[in-house]
Structure 1
Amino acid sequence: MQLPGAPGRRRPPVSHTFSVSSLWTVLLLVVCNFSAAQHVRSLRELSPADITTLALTPDPLKNLDPSNPSSHLAKILIPRPPDTANNTLVREYIVSTLKALKWDVEIDSFVADTPYGKKKMANVIATKDPKAARRVILSAHFDSKFFPSFPESQFLGATDSAAPCAMLLDLAEALDPLLNHRQKLLDEGDEDEEDSETADTTLQLVFFDGEEAYKMWTATDSIYGARHLAEKWEGTYVPSVQARRIHPPGNMLSTIDHLILLDLLGSERPLIRSYYLSTSWLFDAVVSVEKRLLASQSSSFVGDNLQSFFVPRTQLTSQGGFIEDDHIPFLRRGVNILHMITSPFPRVWHTIADDASALHLPTLRRWNLIFRIFVAEYLGLRPPPAGTTTRDDDPSANGHADRSELYQ
């Protein structure tokens, strides 16, 4: 994410002063935005009772509490630049957490040329149902920015993007029983699914490596993992089983309905904007979820601050800017993007102060609830009835005894 006039910095919304190269970049992205198919779904809202169930089970804060040493956030919140032992530890934790849920996990390893020489990097791609014809991707980068000297080398990147990664792991654990229940109904022919597209869509999580620039943010020193994966998927055609359900068959990018990117989340009073017309309806759906949570006036849902996280958009325009981030290689290839990033950036951005103290627990809890409900509605999921068995594995298999058989 880089700004005009701010070398090495990611880009807040475009200013009114452009270089020629910046202008061409903007025009290119505008063309990509309009060329992306506006893949609109009809989302069915959860009932208040379902929202309450999903909001409370599992505990939406436990895994985002940095003071809890067993939380996902605590496991990720260490310095973790690419090609370091800590980066490997975090990646292995992400992988083990998702494999415990029996998701299909792929490691996309590659070697990148950086200003500091060749660096080994690896994206993590976790898919609930790898045979599904369609997928919605939620993503974040798990690396932290490299600084060559102490104390900056101890940069933790709590908002950037340890907290978003922890949110994704929580999302997988919260929705896994619902996804299993839906699959069980489909297998038994008991699912009353009017929209076959919803039934054919799976949830995929992508954790990008190498998002941060080593020195100056350029086309070659930034978003290493995203650039590699977008190019790889562009040249990879769907397996025959999936191809029979896609018209016409295409590459892996053609199976993505939407890519939703989380970044710089976790600090108090974020401001999220809609950047792309092709996903303005999707932005509105997220806003709708928050409005319903706020309307409940339950402090256990949203805390005491009832200010919205979202900047109202006009009906016909986006917010008039863009932020360079991991989504750009996919946007340029025609993928529909929803960019969930706060702008202006948190005050602690790229400073040693982006640590646990930069996070606001009620804000983290609200984000968890928003994403749980939004993705459940996107995929047409419902909490299974009380007493329904939703997983066939041992309740303690993933080391989190309170997360299995959640809806009994």
Structure 2
Amino acid sequence: MLCFNVFFFNLYIVVINASSLLNIDDFLNLNPNSTTSLLTLFNMTRCVETENSKLTLNIITDFYKNMPIKWRVQKHTFYDSGYEFNNLIVTLPHYNEYDYEDTVFQFPKCNAIGLANDLILAVHYDTIANIPSFVGAIDSAASIAILLFISLQISEDSNELRRKNLKIIFFDGEEAFGKWSESDSLYGSRELAKIYNENGLINKIDLLVLLDLLGGVQSRDSKSHTIFNYFPETTDYYKQLLSIENDIYQSTQISLLDPQMSNVNIMISDDHVPFRKLGVKCVHLIPLPFPAFWHTIDDDFEHLDINIIKHISSVLLKFSKKFVAFKKIYI
């Protein structure tokens, strides 16, 4: 299923360059006729090795190359189990004063990136292959749009100094081709974690925040789907997210995090696992229980809640800005 118009995207690139005139409602909406919605760009299947997968990667790549501020774009291609996979890693260095483009996967060597550690925000962009016409609205089109929105908002702060590099990683091959197992799942994150470890860069990651299954409509019980604090080593980061959510509650009237800080001893197999096994601190933004339409044909855009998507975007944007510690540069 292909729901994409090249002419529309060319117009959208123009919109990016005028983004300061727009607000969150312009970028995050479910209007299929919108010329600014980030969400509707990904209302399509995105199975590994398909034309839609390549199109998704091209959309994201073009998005970052047309930012008001330059991001480093790196495509990481590898082969496993007879498939070609493509991760995409985009980096905003802590001090944006460099001029080069690199779409060939090489680890950063310039001082602007190397002097600071990384905050990584991550998501997988592939969709499960064994459900025809499955678009994966929560799995993970909404999360892709959230990260693009955050990137665009941060790009508006072009004259600011950051203590951390901000990396946005789009993993390919999260879904299993057959029955989920350690060898048939998490292809992109397993390969990238291995390379980071081999190159000595795993210790440069201060925090990895993984988004998954976000933005779905809630059931009658508003607390039926909660994003818990899954790991004790990142409790302080979870508290920061909870504090930000509390601060904006009056305007959003949405509460997704667990104010009780419950002890949830659950291991969810997802793209953070290969990194956490290597000692990386991880925050897993995923609701429990999973939405009832997870891995069904009903995981479509009609089952998205735009207010929840905007709420998560606002919380994570504030958290990310605080984490990388923006400071004005006075010249």
Q: 1:288 aligns with which of 227, 243, 263?
A: 243
- Cα deviation for residue 210 of structure 1 reads 0.3
**Map of 1:281-320 to 2, 5 A cutoff?**
281-294=236-249, 297-298=250-251, 302=252, 306-314=253-261, 318-320=263-265
Q: Is this contact kept in 1: 2:216–2:291, CA < 8 A?
A: yes
Q: What secondary structure, in the 3-state scheme, does the structure 1 residue paired with 2:319 have?
A: helix
- Cα deviation for residue 347 of structure 1 reads 1.4
Q: Which residue of 2 aligns with 1:40?
A: none
What letter is aligned with 2:236?
Answer: W
Q: Which residue of 2 aligns with 1:364?
A: 309
Q: Which residue of 1 aligns with 2:28?
A: 64
Whole-Å separation in 1 of the counterparts to 2:156 and 2:165: 14
Q: Is this contact kept in 2: 1:142–1:165, CA < 8 A?
A: yes
Q: What secondary structure, in the 3-state scheme, does the structure 1 residue paired with 2:159 have?
A: helix
1:248-307 CA distance string (max 9 Å, x none):
xxx11110000000000001344100011110110010010010001xx23xxx1xxx24
Whole-Å separation in 1 of the counterparts to 2:281 and 2:50: 33
Q: Is this contact kept in 2: 1:61–1:364, CA < 8 A?
A: no
Q: 1:92 aligns with which of 58, 64, 80?
A: 58
- Cα deviation for residue 313 of structure 1 reads 4.3
Q: Which residue of 1 aligns with 2:46?
A: 80
Q: Which residue of 1 aligns with 2:198?
A: 235
Q: What secondary structure, in the 3-state scheme, does the structure 1 residue paired with 2:227 have?
A: coil
Mark the runs of 5 or more structure 2 residues left unpaired by the alignment: 1-19, 94-112, 219-224
Q: Which residue of 2 aligns with 1:38?
A: none
Q: Which residue of 1 aligns with 2:119?
A: 136
- Cα deviation for residue 155 of structure 1 reads 0.1
What letter is aligned with 1:278?
Answer: E
Whole-Å separation in 2 of the counterparts to 1:381 and 1:275: 28
- Cα deviation for residue 131 of structure 1 reads 3.7
Q: Which residue of 1 aligns with 2:215?
A: 266
Q: Is this contact kept in 2: 1:121–1:225, CA < 8 A?
A: yes
- Cα deviation for residue 108 of structure 1 reads 0.7
What letter is aligned with 1:309?
Answer: L
- Cα deviation for residue 64 of structure 1 reads 2.6
Q: 2:201 aligns with which of 238, 252, 255?
A: 252
Q: Is this contact kept in 1: 2:128–2:176, CA < 8 A?
A: yes
What letter is aligned with 1:311?
Answer: D
- Cα deviation for residue 84 of structure 1 reads 0.5
Whole-Å separation in 2 of the counterparts to 1:144 and 1:204: 22
The answer as to 2:286 corresponding to 1:337 is no
Aligned length in residues: 283
Q: Which residue of 1 aligns with 2:181?
A: 218
Whole-Å separation in 2 of the counterparts to 1:220 and 1:368: 32
Q: Which residue of 1 aligns with 2:142?
A: 163
Q: Is this contact kept in 2: 1:64–1:163, CA < 8 A?
A: no
TM (norm. structure 2) is 0.81
Q: Is this contact kept in 1: 2:120–2:169, CA < 8 A?
A: yes
Q: Which structure: larger Rg? A: 1
What letter is aligned with 1:153?
Answer: P
Q: What secondary structure, in the 3-state scheme, does the structure 2 residue paired with 1:334 have?
A: coil
Q: Is this contact kept in 1: 2:30–2:306, CA < 8 A?
A: no
Q: Is this contact kept in 1: 2:217–2:304, CA < 8 A?
A: yes
TM (norm. structure 1) is 0.66
The answer as to 2:172 corresponding to 1:200 is no
Q: Is this contact kept in 2: 1:160–1:263, CA < 8 A?
A: yes
Q: 2:72 aligns with which of 104, 107, 120?
A: 104
Pair 279,57 (structure 1): closer, same or farther in 2 beyond 3 Å? farther
Whole-Å separation in 2 of the counterparts to 1:144 and 1:318: 31
Pair 69,145 (structure 1): closer, same or farther in 2 beyond 3 Å? farther
Whole-Å separation in 1 of the counterparts to 2:299 and 2:116: 39
Whole-Å separation in 1 of the counterparts to 2:116 and 2:254: 38
The answer as to 2:82 corresponding to 1:121 is no
Pair 133,276 (structure 1): closer, same or farther in 2 beyond 3 Å? same
Pair 230,361 (structure 1): closer, same or farther in 2 beyond 3 Å? same
Whole-Å separation in 2 of the counterparts to 1:353 and 1:57: 35
Q: Which residue of 1 aligns with 2:230?
A: 275
1:93-131 CA distance string (max 9 Å, x none):
111111222200110101120xxxx11110000000134
**CA RMSD, Structure 1 to Structure 2 (Å):** 2.0
Q: What secondary structure, in the 3-state scheme, does the structure 2 residue paired with 1:98 have?
A: helix
Q: Is this contact kept in 2: 1:142–1:208, CA < 8 A?
A: yes
Mark the runs of 5 or more structure 1 residues left unpaired by the alignment: 1-55, 184-198, 237-250, 390-408
Identical residues among aligned pairs (%):
30
Whole-Å separation in 1 of the counterparts to 2:254 and 2:55: 37
Whole-Å separation in 2 of the counterparts to 1:257 and 1:264: 24
Q: What secondary structure, in the 3-state scheme, does the structure 2 residue paired with 1:282 have?
A: helix
